[in-house]
Homo-oligomer: A and B are copies of this chain.
Amino acid sequence: MQKQLADFKLDEKVAVFALLSSLELRTTQQGKPYLVMTFTDRSGDIRGMKWEVTDNDLKDLQVGEVVFVEGVKQSYRDQEQLKVLSIRLTQAGEPSNPADFLQRAPKAQAAMETEVERLVLQITQANWQRIVRYLLKKYHQAFFTFPAAKANHHAFAGGLAYHSLSIVHMAQAVADQYDQVDRRLLYAASLLHDLGKVLELSGPVATHYTRAGNLIGHITLIDEQIVLAAQELKMDIYAEDLLLLRHTVLAHHGLLEYGSPVQPQIKEAEILHQLDQLDASMQAFDQALAQTEPGHFSSRQWALDRRSVYHPEMD
């Protein structure tokens, strides 16, 4: 099988197909142009620098395309980067599907679809189930292919569905432990809580925030969709069941300063919030540990309030 970006060693000559997931033309302080790029394949991301810029580079290269790149892997400020010697778009007969180069959720889309289908059946309250069905159908493809974030936690294709299912798995154990927890509401809200990200983010490749994402935010965006769905399905949006579902989704960031317009006022909202936070912490730990040798402490992690993380040595 072909070598991937992460397989090359420092100072080794690289020649690979990869997805060009960012591209910027910059100038040195003395006035010389150069290219800063990100290359992506399923082994991860690497930054590339091209110090000699050709006319073809400027004409042909475009974010989101598959390219063939040659260069040398080097280290700069403790991070690997690729000194690019040549780069070109792929030709007929060579790989060209960006999706083949994206990192994927640990679980296959089909398996996640099956699990979601099974979960929906457990949402035995009629209105909640119909809303979930309606919206998961409306945004089916995006739900199973979008990342859950622009960067940081779950920033891989399929991450949105994977994250939502992780929450559900833990929610089951929490519901087992405490009284007066409505599993139907907890599952419905867990599946919908981050679905606004399909409107907030631009998609799985070269992900950025949309205008609606910046100006409205994913929490309000999904609330609006729930209300529109309810209208379409002839439900009373001020009946208790619809209020509880929207409340649980709206409150899932827990604190106003994290962007929720209301704080959790029912148990299901509190559980969803806390598990969402735990899942985010675990992803942040994984990222930090991946860059840290056993027996050492990581650099300070922005996503963990600037904490440094320890990678234990013992098994």
Contacts and interface: CB of A to CB of B under 8 A. Distances in A.
Contacts of A240: 211, 312-314
Interface string A9-40: 00000000000000000111111000000000
A282 interface: yes
Which of A76, A261, A285, A286 gathers most chain B CB within 10 Å?
A: A261
Contacts of A281: 270, 274
A265 interface: yes
A168 to B, nearest CB: 10
A211 B27 contact: no
Chain A interface residue number, banded: 35 or more
Interface in A232-264: 237-238, 240-241, 243-244, 246-247, 250, 255-264
A180 B237 CA distance: 38
A116 interface: no
Interface string A283-315: 001100100000101000000010111101110
23 contacts: A26-B77, A29-B49, A169-B173, A170-B173, A170-B177, A173-B174, A177-B282, A180-B286, A182-B312, A211-B295, A211-B310, A214-B310, A215-B243, A215-B244, A215-B262, A216-B250, A220-B262, A260-B261, A263-B307, A264-B307, A265-B308, A267-B285, A274-B274
